[in-house]
Structure formats: C-alpha cells, structure tokens
DNA sequence: CGCGCGCGTTCCGTAAACGGAACGATCGGG
DNA sequence: CCCGATCGTTCCGTTTACGGAACGCGCGCG
C-alpha cells in the first residue's frame, strides 16, 4: 500500500477518540517513569503543582499551554512529543493501517515515516513505486513478513527489513498477534 | 545520550513562560488569514468563544489543550503544526542532536522514536541503560558508526544498525557529511 | 444618507485549572 | 517495631480561561 497508493476500504474500527487530551496523560506518565522520576520530583522540576500533574496524567484535567510547556521542558522533550498523534493523517488499506508521523525533506531524498499496524493473519500487496524508492520497516510487536513478492523477509519484534519498492511488494502479519512496526519510505529526488 | 541521560544533562528546566503562547498566537492568525477566514468564522467552526480566539491570537491568554485541539481541527491541521518550533527544547548532547518524535506505550514495551543529527566528524558516547533496552538506527544521510563500544557498526544512507544498550555505546559521524538518522529506543516493561 | 450586517475587541459572570496543604499508603533504617 | 521520608491522591481557596453579550468600527446596499 505504501501510503500514496493506499485508499481501498478496510473501514471500520474507528472509535475515533474524542480528543487527543486523553493521550497526553499516559504519554507524560510513560516519559516520566522511563526516567525513573517520581511525580513529585517532576512537579518540582517543572514548577507545577502536584495536583496539576496528577490530574494531567490521569486525564481528569484540561492543561493549559503553559503547563504543557513546563512539563515538556522538565522532561527534556519537545512539546510536539506530548501532543503528537491527535491530528495525524491516517491511511487505511485492506489490511494495513498506517499513520504518517513525519515527513523529512532534507538532503537528496524525501522520507516519510509511518507507524504501521497489521491485524493478525491479514495480508496486503502494493504495486511498484518509482525506481529508487526503498522501504524500511522496524518491527515493534508481532511477526512481519514483508518485501518484494519474489523475496520477502520475515522478522519478529526488534527485527528490521528493507527492500526496493520499485517492484510489487506486500505486507503480512504471519504470527498469532497483530504487527506493530515503523515504516520508513525513501523517495529519491 | 539517549534521552534519559540527556534530560538530566541538557536543557531541561526552564521558565519558558512567554515563549510558548507567544508563538502559537501568530501562527494561528497566519493559518486563519491564509484560508481567508475571519476570526468570527473560525471561532464558530471551532466552537470556541470569539474572546477566547481573540486573546489566543493576541497572546494575552494561556489556552487550554481543548481549545488548541478545537482550533487546530477547525483549521484542518495537526495540533503539532500549532505548537511546533516555538522554543521546543531539543535534546542536545556533546555531538548528537535528537528530537523526540513519538512515544509508543501500548505494547509489552515502550518505544521512543527520535530523529538524530550528528555533525560531520563528531562523536559521542552514552552510558549503559537498564538491561533489555535496545536501540535501532536507520540512516537517512551520512555515514554513521554506532553501537556498543566494543563492537560498533558502520552504515551509510539506507543502512540499519541495532545494538543492546545495556552497555556503554556511542554514536559518530565518520564520513564527510552530517549524519541524519532515526533512532528507535525500546524499553521492555 | 441612513441602515444593517459582519468584523475584531472588550466587559462580565461562571466554570475550572492552578498551587499549596493535608491525607493515607508504602518503604527503609534505627 | 516504630518512625521519618517520600510516594501519589484529594481537598481547598485563589486565579484565570471560558463563552455570551455588548461595544465601536467599516463596509455595501437600498
């Protein structure tokens, strides 16, 4: 499917969360605990009240921009890292559900970075791209079979696959669980 | 540097008081006028008060996340487009400049996806992480040498490297050009 | 000309986000 | 076993962001 060609229906499944606000809380909590930081300590470093931070992580509050800025700075991350995802374009194919995270436009090529999800057992093929286009997948969870149809590769969590996309290629979740992966597509200019 | 260590050594805590909101206001105004939309009309579409929007664009208010979400949606842009840039703290080490793009926290592990830049010729080491943590780099441009200090790998554009981060490791741009890459860090739970 | 419509700003009462303090729970040391 | 320290949550008074209404202004039409 490869983003650009994806369009067919796979429809369904869209609970469509009410707002991205609910996502910010867990993300802050994840970033905080990864750093081994307590709620009290992060509140202190960010100069916000513990009640504010507690409510923010729990999703029971509606934080102001100042609060988000202070927390992001204390975590050492960009504010975009806390709020990313809410409005990202989604691309749904027959089997593959991709979310465009970022477009890199520097250098002699353009890169599109996607997060990819494939339900267990699902499979999908994609037609050839222009010459020189390559795809790079890093698997987070599940067992991914992907690559050119004549020479696919299979990898599990932590694994990596890449292939030239100027020939028909496909993606499949061959294990018992859904596949979660990141997909980087490189378009030479 | 790896995020976790960067937050401690790096920019971290700062006042960041005026910076945030001051940048968002003009950006909203620019996006609105580009679309030939009046303030009243955008307020109506976003279901926010005109006073709220007026103060937001003027920078005299401190908008909540809900307000920002509503305005971003009505403008048809991702929330990140409103808050991107403006004084966003980068994670800057001795040589490596990293930007956290996304955190995935829904699997049996937490993943942090970074964009990484290393100036030509620069080099940096990072202390060990917790056991089980792995890092995965995909090179966009330049020649990257990275991995555990006792067994680093070297790859060019399109190349991929991975290593266990529970031992000291490093990153270096060994070619004549800057290195641009994506770095995925996996934290088992 | 006068009138109506829509513009962006300002005023105002209400809802809620804020920081500080108090709370029970948990942990480690004497 | 008790005690102090720190954890995260909850309560509370203050601050303030919110939406609705009123305001002054500029424009186009009858």
Q: In this predicted structure, what is the pLDDT of residue B107?
A: 53
**Contact residues, chain B, for A30 at CB < 8 Å:** 103, 105, 110
* Confidence (pLDDT) at A22: 64
- Cβ of B48 near strand D (under 7 Å)? The reply is yes
Distances (CA, A) of A108 to A105, A189, B180: 8, 6, 12
Indicate the DSSP class of residue B176.
Answer: S
Is residue B3 within 8 A of residue A36, CB to CB? The reply is no
Q: What whole-number distance in Å separates Cα of residue B46 and Cα of residue B40?
A: 10
Q: What span, in angstroms and rounded, lies between the C-alpha atoms of B151 and B166?
A: 13
User: Which residues in chain A show pLDDT less than 50?
Assistant: 1-20, 87-88, 105-106
* Statement: the pTM of the whole predicted model exceeds 0.75: no
Distance from C-alpha of A155 to C-alpha of A100, rounded to nearest angstrom: 22
Model pLDDT, residue B10: 25
With contacts defined as CB-CB under 8 Å, which chain B residues touch A46?
Answer: 13
What pLDDT was estimated at residue A8? 27
Distance of CA B45 to the CA centre of its chain: 30
CB atoms within 10 A of CB B100: 27
Alpha-helix runs per DSSP H in A4-89: 21-34, 39-46, 50-58, 65-75, 79-83
pLDDT value at residue A55: 95
Residue of B nearest to A30 (CA): B105
Chain A hits for B99, CB-CB cut-off 8 Å, are 78
- Which of A80, A113, A134, A177 has the highest number of chain B CBs within 10 A, making it the mutation to test binding with B? A80
Interface contact B104-A115, CB threshold 8 A: yes
Alpha-carbon distance of A79 to A20, in angstroms, equals 14
Say whether A30 and B105 touch across the interface (CB within 8 A): yes
Residue A100: what pLDDT?
Answer: 63
Coil vs helix vs strand at B129: coil
Q: Could you give the CA distance from residue A29 to residue A71 in angstroms, rounded to a whole number?
A: 11
Question: φ and ψ at A188, to 5 degrees?
Answer: -65, 150
Q: How far apart are CA A111 and CA A114, in angstroms?
A: 10
DSSP reduced 3-state for A91: strand
Tally helices (H) and strands (E) across chain B: 6, 10
Beta bridge partners of B163: B135
Taking only the tens of pLDDT, chain B with its 189 residues reads: 443 333 332 222 223 234 445 688 888 888 888 778 899 999 999 999 999 999 999 999 999 999 999 998 888 777 877 876 544 445 667 788 887 666 665 555 677 778 788 999 999 988 777 777 888 888 877 899 999 999 999 988 767 788 888 888 999 999 899 998 888 887 776
Question: Coil, strand or helix: which one is B148?
Answer: strand
Q: How far is the C-alpha of B117 from the C-alpha of B65, rounded, in Å?
A: 30
Contact predicate A140/A180, CB 8 Å = yes
Alpha-carbon distance of B160 to B90, in angstroms, equals 24
Q: Which of residues 150-179 of A touch B (CB under 8 A)?
A: 157-158, 160, 162
Using CA of residue A43, residue A44, residue A46, residue A48, what is the dihedral sign?
positive
């Amino acid at each position: 499917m490869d983003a650009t060609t994806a369009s067919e229906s796979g429809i369904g499944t869209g609970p469509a969360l009410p707002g991205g606000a609910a996502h910010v809380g867990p993300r802050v909590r994840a970033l905080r605990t990864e750093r081994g930081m307590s709620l009290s300590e992060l509140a202190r470093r960010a100069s916000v009240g513990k009640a504010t931070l507690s409510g923010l992580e729990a999703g029971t509050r509606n934080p102001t921009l100042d609060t988000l800025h202070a927390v992001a700075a204390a975590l050492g991350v960009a504010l975009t890292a806390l709020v990313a995802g809410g409005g990202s374009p989604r691309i749904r194919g027959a089997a593959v559900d991709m979310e465009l995270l970022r477009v890199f436009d520097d250098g002699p090529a353009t890169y599109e970075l996607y997060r990819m999800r494939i339900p267990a057992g699902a499979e999908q093929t994609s037609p050839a791209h222009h010459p020189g286009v390559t795809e790079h997948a890093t698997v987070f969870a599940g067992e991914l079979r992907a690559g050119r149809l004549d020479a696919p590769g299979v990898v599990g969590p932590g694994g990596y696959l890449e292939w030239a996309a100027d020939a028909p290629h496909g993606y499949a979740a061959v294990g018992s669980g859904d596949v979660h992966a990141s997909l980087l597509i490189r378009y030479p200019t």
